[in-house]
Amino acid sequence: MNMNQIHSVYFLGIGGIGMSALARYFVFLGKNVGGYDKTPSPLTLELEGVGMQVHYEDDISKIDAKFLDKDSCLVVYTPAVPKDHTELNYFFDNEFTVKKRSEVLGLVTNETFCFAVAGTHGKTTTSSILAHILKEAQLPMTAFLGGISEDFNSNFYYQGSEYSVVEADEFDRSFLRLSPNIACITSMDADHLDIYGTGEELHKSFREFAGKIKEGGKLFVRNGLPIKGITYGIDDDSDYCIKNLEIINSVYVFDIKTPTITYKSVKFSKPGRHNLLNALVACAMALESNPNPEKIFDALKSFKGVQRRFSYRIKNEDFVFIDDYAHHPTEINAVYDAVAEMHPNKKVLAIFQPHLFSRTKDFADDFASSLEKFENVLLLDIYPAREKPMEGITSEWLLGKINNPNKKLIQKSDLIQEIKNQAPEVLVVMGAGDIGLEVVKIEKALKNEN
C-alpha cells in the first residue's frame, strides 16, 4: 500500500471506536476522509465536525465522487459490516483497494516501534495509561485507542511517528495482523465464542499473537496465564510486582518490585485491583523502553482515566454515580470488587445492559453469578449490535437466573424514575451498548434533583 498514491480513505463503519481513531489518523495525514455508519452517534457527529463526510444509508449514490476513484481511494471496513452490504460489495466488485481495519493498523504501525496491548479485558485502560506515560515522557508516539482517553479527550493522539501504541484486538483474530516490539496480554477469559467456538481456540490465537512479536521484542503476561513471558502481578512471585499496597485518601500507594530495582511510594488513583494491574504492566512496558522512571511515575499519578471505565459521573459524600463499559462477567466482577473496596457498606444499585445475544447465551450463568452480588439489580433488554435475535435468549430469561430478590427488568424510559425511587448511595451503570447514551441523561436528572 503506497500512501503517496492514496488521496482519499473511505470507512465502512466509521463510527466504531477503533475505526474512528484510524479515520482521525488519515485526516491528520491530510487525506480526504469519509464513510458510512448505520446510525448517527456523538462520535460520528464529532467526525463530521472535523470535516469528514459521513452518511447513514447503505446507498452508493450517497458516496461523494472523490471516494469513487479506485486508483486513489483506500476502502477500510470492519468485520461488523454485514457481507451483503451494498457499498462493501460495490467496492469489491469494482476492484478498489479494500482492507480490514486490522490490516491497515498493521501496515501503519509496522514501521514504528510498536507497543501492543492484548487481552479480553483491560486493553483500553492499559493502552491509554501507556500512551499517557509515553506522551509525558515526550516520546514521538502515535496512539490508537479503543476508548476516549480523558487525558487526550480523544481515541487518537499524535506526538510523532517513531513509536505507536495500539490495542491488539482478539475479535475476528484482528491482532494477528500486528508485529509489535513490546506487547502484553492482560487476560484470556473465554469470549467471542461466536468467532472461536471454544476457549481453547481463543487461547491458541493468543499463543499465535505471542509469536508475532518481532525478534528481540518482549512479552509481558499477567501472572497465572498459560503463556510464557515476563510476568506481572500483585503480592506474588511476578517479575514485576506490586508490594506494600495501601489506600490513602482514595489513592493507591504502593511499591513496584522489578527484576533489578524496587520503586517506592508509587501513586495511582483509578479504583480497582484490575486497574492496578493495568497500571503496573503499562509502567513495565514503558520502563523497558524508556530509562526515565521519574517521568513514568509522575505520569501514572496524573492519569485521568478513560470514559466509561469506572468513570465517576457524580461523586460526593452522600451519592456516587459510576459508569463502566463492563460487558463480560469477569469485568462485572472487577467492578463489584472495586465498588466494595472503595465504597464499603453503601446501598448499591447496579444497572446492566447485556451486549450481544451470543455472549448472553454463552455466559448466562456467569452473568447471573456476577450480577447477583450487587444489592439491587436492574436489567435492560439485550443490545444486539451486529446480531439478530436468538430464540429464547432474552433479558427476562437472564433475569430468571439471577439469585437475588432485589432484581427487576426495566425499560430505558423508566430508568431515571426507578433510580429516584430506590435512592441508592452508589449507582453503577454497566454495558457496552447504547446504555452510554443514557448515562448523560441520568447524570443530568440526578444533578438537577441534588
Give pLDDT tens digits for 185-197. 999 876 656 666 6
pLDDT tens digit sequence for 250-281: 899 999 999 999 999 999 999 888 899 999 99
Q: Which residues, including other chains, have CB under 8 Å from residue 248's CB and lie 6 or more apart?
A: none
* β-sheet bridge partners, residue 376: 349
pLDDT for position 169: 84
CB 207 within 8 A of CB 227: yes
Spatial strand order in the sheet of 182-185:
154-158, 141-149, 163-168, 113-118, 182-185, 218-222, 230-234, 240-248, 251-257, 262-268
Query: How many Å is the maximal CA-CA distance in the chain?
Result: 63
pLDDT for position 360: 95
Task: Dig out the grid coordinates for 131 from the structure.
Answer: 500512551
Mean pLDDT on 54-59: 95
The Cα 168–Cα 256 span in angstroms is 25
173: enclosing H helix or E strand: none
What is the phi/psi pair of residue 222, to 5°? -60, 135
pLDDT for residue 450 is more than 60: no
Q: Which long-range contacts (CB under 8 A, 24 or more apart) does 411-416 make?
A: 411/380, 411/381, 412/380, 412/438, 415/351, 415/378, 415/442, 416/441, 416/442, 416/445, 416/446
The Cα 89–Cα 93 span in angstroms is 6
Q: How confident is the model at residue 287 (pLDDT cuts 50, 70, 90)?
A: very high
Mean pLDDT of the chain: 92
Mean pLDDT on 114-137: 94
pLDDT for position 387: 84
Query: With 0-12 CB in 10 A as exposed, 13-18 as middle and 19+ as buried, what is 153?
Result: exposed
pLDDT for position 191: 65
DSSP 52: -
Task: Dig out the grid coordinates for 374 from the structure.
Answer: 450487587
Cα–Cα distances in angstroms (integers) from residue 127 to residues 142, 162, 164, 314, 375, in the given order = 11, 17, 10, 25, 32
pLDDT for position 192: 57
Domains of the chain by range and CATH?
3-100 (3.40.50.720), 111-302 (3.40.1190.10), 311-449 (3.90.190.20)
Q: How confident is the model at residue 203 (pLDDT cuts 50, 70, 90)?
A: confident
HSE-CB of 301 using CA atoms within 13 angstroms:
11
Cα–Cα distances in angstroms (integers) from residue 62 to residues 2, 36, 43, 59, in the given order = 27, 9, 20, 6
Strand-pair category, 53-55 with 320-324? unpaired
pLDDT for position 1: 62
- Helix (H, G, I), strand (E, B), or coil: what is residue 341? helix
Give me Rg for the CA atoms of the chain: 22
The Cα 425–Cα 408 span in angstroms is 18
CB 223 within 8 A of CB 191: no
Q: Which amino acid is at 171?
A: F
Strand-pair category, 240-248 with 251-257? antiparallel
Spatial strand order in the sheet of 73-77:
53-55, 32-36, 8-12, 73-77, 97-100
Q: How confident is the model at residue 443 (pLDDT cuts 50, 70, 90)?
A: very high
pLDDT over 70, % of the chain: 97
Pairwise pLDDT comparison (305 vs 184), residue with the higher score: 184
Q: Which residues, including other chains, have CB under 8 Å from residue 55's CB and lie 6 or more apart?
A: 36, 62, 63
pLDDT for position 4: 78
pLDDT for position 158: 95
CB 219 within 8 A of CB 213: yes
Annotated binding site for ATP: 119-125
CA end-to-end span of the chain, whole Å?
56
Q: In 10 A of CB 319, how many CB atoms?
A: 16
